[in-house]
Amino acid sequence: MSLLPIQEKIGSRKHKEIYELVRRQGTVSKIELLEQSQMTGSTLTRTLEELTHQGWLVEAGFGESTGGRRPILYQTNPTAAYVFGLDISRMSSKLILCDLHMNKLDAESWLMDERMTPDRLLRDIADAAERMLHKHQIAADAVLGMGIGAVGPLDRTTGIILEPLYFPAAGWRHVEVARYMQERLRIPVLLDNGANTAIIGESWSDRNRDYRHLLYVHLGVGIRSSMMAGGKVVYGAVDMEGSIGQMIIQTDGPRIGNHGNFGSLQTYASIHALEQQAQSRLKQGRESSLRYKEADPEKINYTHLLQGLKEHDPLTVEIFSQAATYFGIGLSNLLNILHPEKVILGGSLISSDPSFFQIATRVAIRNTYYYPAYQVVFSQGHLGEEALVTGAAIMMINQLTEL
């Protein structure tokens, strides 16, 4: 199957430059574009006319006069194309359909339980995508493609999810997700890890601040992270999504199951870590309201812990506070090495209770070597749990201006 590369839809370098300038600012005048692009007036006029004629830009009225004629304002055309964003995670997965202004037209979610094998999920997603296009009367050739943010490790080049841990269902090994979606829907598909798509989404949502060095950490079943430097996602020789979870906090510490380093950060700060801590302390005889939620300590899970936290159960609060402290130590190690301007923290543990974020960031700051000369901004982001799926869609739109 032959698909036109997205990068070729907007042809020349100058067309891409002007489109990106308009896209980043929302609404911009021709005068402002002339100053920002350093093009000659005739070249800019011709470029704007061509982009408008092709449907990528639309005239959006007139700006305020500075003495002469009121300047024409330009915006990107939201209906010039459409895009899918897909988040494949361990607890739930989500598909969205958006226009080029990231207005969400439709969405569907799936619980990732023990029945949700790769075959079933991919089939359900493709069915949902087809229903969405039919419902909104969008032809397949009007879709830029589908961006996918998934749990790693994965191979971005071949579009394969490799050997992720902790999926409830069997079969999540070497899943050719990009090939399946491309052949089924006949649209371009890009795969990246969910932490990378999340940082793309958060960076775009905060683009007016122009942070150049960002760190994103997602704390849930595992620890997922990504880094952006100079406005670009940093990639390593292999997929790095889960690497900081293997940062060693205590050399003689335990590990979860038979995977990873002993005494790693993930062993102390993750959903599995909290569950194991609760089970262990209940077996030791610690008093807790958790005992009245489940008679068998081995069956205590994260849902029980959230209930205990909401009820201010002392043991549950202690377990969450300890995990937040360990996470803060790991975070300080990252700050001392990477020195990002802004750190965005996401995931179910971060959002479990305000105290988790507060404890973790306070511990991180206390252990940051160059503080207070080095100041970092901590945030829970603008998009929350929507960051991964939103960033996946934006990743596809970004391809329009890639050279």
The CATH number of residue 18's host domain is 1.10.10.10
Residue 2 in this model has a pLDDT that exceeds 60: no
The answer to which of 56-65, 111-120, 300-309, 347-356 has the lowest mean pLDDT is 56-65
Looking from the CA of 86 toward its CB, the CA atoms found within 13 Å total 23
Residues 365 and 351 in one domain: yes
In whole angstroms, give the CA distance from residue 387 to residue 174.
Answer: 25
Assign residue 193 the CATH number of its domain: 3.30.420.40
Q: Which domain holds residue 49?
A: 6-76
Residue 64 forms part of a structural domain: yes
Tell me whether residue 262 is in a domain: yes
Residues 122 and 232 in one domain: no
Among the ranges given (149-153, 279-283, 322-326, 369-373), the one the predictor scored with the smallest mean pLDDT: 369-373
Q: Is residue 392 within 8 Å of residue 85, measured between CB atoms?
A: yes
What does 83-127 look like in DSSP terms, one character per residue? EEEEEE-SSEEEEEEEETT--EEEEEEEE--TT--HHHHHHHHHH
Residues 245 and 223 in one domain: yes
Q: Which residues lie below 8 Å from residue 188, measured CB to CB, with a gap of 6+? A: 3, 5, 6, 144, 145, 146, 182, 396
pLDDT digits (tens, 9 = 90+) for 7-58: 888 888 999 999 999 998 889 998 889 889 888 889 999 999 999 999 999 9
Range 126-164 burial, b when 16+ CB lie within 10 A, else e: bebbeebbeeeebeeeebbbbbbbbbbbbbeeebbbbeb
291 and 335 in a common domain: yes
Q: Do 175 and 232 sit in the same domain of this protein?
A: no
37 lies in some domain: yes
Q: What is the pLDDT of residue 236?
A: 77
Separation of alpha carbons 144 and 391, rounded Å: 15
Residue 307 has pLDDT above 50, yes or no: yes
Q: Select from 59, 76, 93 the last residue of a domain.
A: 76
Residues 219 and 195 in one domain: no
Identify whether 1 is part of a domain: no
DSSP state at residue 187: S
What is the count of structural domains for the chain? 3
| Range of weakest confidence among 35-44, 60-69, 141-150, 306-315 | 60-69
H/E run at residue 322: helix 314-338
**240 and 179 both lie in a single domain:** no
Q: Of 76, 108, 130, which one is at a domain's C-terminal end? A: 76
Indicate whether 173 and 301 sit together in one domain. no
pLDDT in tens, 280-299: 999 999 989 898 887 788 88
One domain, residues 179 and 319: no
* Residues 183 and 145 grouped into a single domain: yes
233, 197: one domain: no
Indicate whether 291 belongs to any domain.
yes
Quote the tokens at residue 326.
């360990």
Same domain, 87 and 22: no
- Does residue 115 lie within any of the structural domains? yes
Confidence at residue 5, expressed as pLDDT on a 0 to 100 scale = 79
Q: Which of 76, 107, 132 is the last residue of a domain?
A: 76
